[in-house]
Amino acid sequence: MRLLAFASLATLLVSALGQTSVDTYVASESPVAKAGLLANIGSSGAKSSGAKPGVVIASPSTTNPDYLYTWVRDSSLVFKTIVDQYTSGTDTSTRALIDAFVAAEGTLQQVTNPSGSVSTGGLGEPKFNIDETAFTGSWGRPQRDGPALRSTAIINYANWLIANGNSSWVTSKLWPIIKLDLDYVANNWNQSTFDLWEEVDSSSFFTTAVQHRALREGAALANKIGQTSVVSGYTSQASNLLCFLQSYWNPSGAYITANTGGGRSGKDSNTVLASIHTFDPAAGCDANTFQPCSDKALSNLKVYVDSFRSIYGVNSGIASNAAVAVGRYPEDVYYNGNPWYLSTFAVAEQLYDALVVWKAQGSLTVTSTSLPFFKQFSSSVAAGTYASSTATFTTLTTAIKTFADGFVAINAKYTPAAGGLSEQFDKNTGAPTSAVDLTWSYASALTAFAARTGFAAPGWGAQGLTVPATCSGNAGPSVAVTFNVQATTVLGENIYLTGSVNALENWSPDNALLLSAANYPTWSITVTLPANTVVQYKYIRKNNGAVTWESDPNDQITTPSGGTFTVNDTWR
């Protein structure tokens, strides 16, 4: 008994000492992070020269790497942080800045770019020049999380305005911007997308999760302001997204597979970021929406964190149940593959979010799925529900708070004395590397620190959702497109079609669609394609395994809003 008491005392002392250092870091880093974030917002930000008002630069770095652009994703996550601070009363000085952001994003929506125009896919464009002109260089496009994240940031502001008697501003100024994004999500959610790291073109857990959230809260906002004609469509597609979201779970590995393509393990910060950015405190520990304290999200967190324990030098010698530095994914080679500040903060934030819910509901539940996670903190714990009055609840939540603080402490250890946060820190030396003053790094610090205090933003409608019995892959309006191509062939040779969307097999020569030669030399096929979408395609010849592509450039069409469409081509 004395040994047990001594061990418990030692644990408490270690925890208290660790908490003190983390408290100190949070107190010193919070104002630095806020100032760093604001410095990167045009036009008055100290490090955002050349940026239009309300435009967020990703980083002031212009070489190795050049991040002096505005990404829709980063900007939206940054302003979600600012909006949460404003609407909660934490910082009421940013109203004009929020309005400038809304106006800037409304402008960017209308800028025709390599992904298309506002009505033909341009909302999927990931980044723009900071003067609000199109970036026309080669890039991983489209990235379909941006419209969802932007709508979420603006919807949070809209809900506050409505609660404070300003519905007319929402209807006239905000809703047109929000609706464009939500319509894009509803019409394109099941099309392939580059992931948030801009590397893998497939389906992405993060993208699916934030799209689901956006349509749920978008439907609720539409009801509030009388825009009821869109509610059924948004709700229907949200149900399809919720159904599709379940497919990312890997039951044998007990983690969430981040992307459906890419040839990697799928263990990825993408999944942790999705959990914290779709946190709804009213949903409890719901596993269908992968809430932070759900058994699947906790199991996934353990698998993800453990995947970095042996690959970074800075993690050498750290106990197997203690916090370590984490990065995007274990196979990463960008800048030689390092820990990221925002990924490490995200782990802490998920754990803080979980603690918020367990405290609010007065209990926590251990399932067979989450048992390995909880055994890190108590080897004798068993599956079951533990009320807040039990010693087990206290033991687990105290240890998990210490664990969460450990990730903040890791970042604190590798934060320079002045507090500036780069994108990454070197996996062996801990020295900051890659883009300096990354705006998203600063935002991630602020949201993790807020979660540590028990802050939770308003819910978005995740409570009590039921996964449909069958999933539908119909992503909004579609068009039957008939492709005709004049092509003479030799015996045994056939004409195939492939292109830039799922229905055209995403440029795969192996899975390309065989055309009919019933009206030779016209080869034909009719394919259902998403409406209002820019589609690129090419014909290919196959003859006894030999594949010949049509010459450049790619063919391109913009599908109409509905009905049928016919394309008449000649082989090049």
Binding residues for substrate: 139
Q: 385-408 as b/e, with b when 16 or more CB fall inside 10 Å?
A: ebeeeeebbebbbebbbbbbbbbb
Closest CA to 514 of 542, 486, 544, 489: 542
Place of tokens 């952001």: 101
Output the six-digit token pair for 312.
């970074």
Is residue 524 within 8 A of residue 492, CB to CB? The reply is: no
Q: What does the angle CA 442 – CA 336 – CA 127 come to, to the nearest 5 degrees?
A: 50
Write the CA distances from 392 to 4, 361, 365, 369, integer angstroms: 15, 15, 11, 18
Q: Does 332 qualify as catalytic in the annotation?
A: no
Write the CA distances from 481 to 535, 562, 565, integer angstroms: 11, 10, 5
The DSSP line for 342-396 is HHHHHHHHHHHHHHHHHHHHTEEEE-TTTHHHHHTT-TT--SEEEETTSHHHHHH
**Among residues 198, 331, 493, 555, which one is catalytic?**
198
Write the CA distances from 389 to 11, 358, 361, 366, 374, integer angstroms: 20, 12, 12, 16, 18
CA distance 436 to 40: 11
Is residue 483 within 8 A of residue 568, CB to CB? The reply is: no
CA distance 123 to 143: 9
Q: Does 195 qualify as catalytic in the annotation?
A: yes
SS3 string, 14-66, reads HHHHHHHHHHHHHHHHHHHHHHHHHHCECCCCCCCCCCCCCCECCCCCCCCCC
Q: 537-556 as b/e, with b when 16 or more CB fall inside 10 Å?
A: bbbebbeeeeeeebeeeebe
CA distance 31 to 41: 16
Enumerate the known binding-site residues: 139
The DSSP line for 436-450 is SS-HHHHHHHHHHHH
Place of tokens 């509030």: 224
Beta bridge partners of 432: 425
**Among residues 145, 195, 286, 306, which one is catalytic?**
195
> Could you give the residue numbers annotated as active site?
195, 198
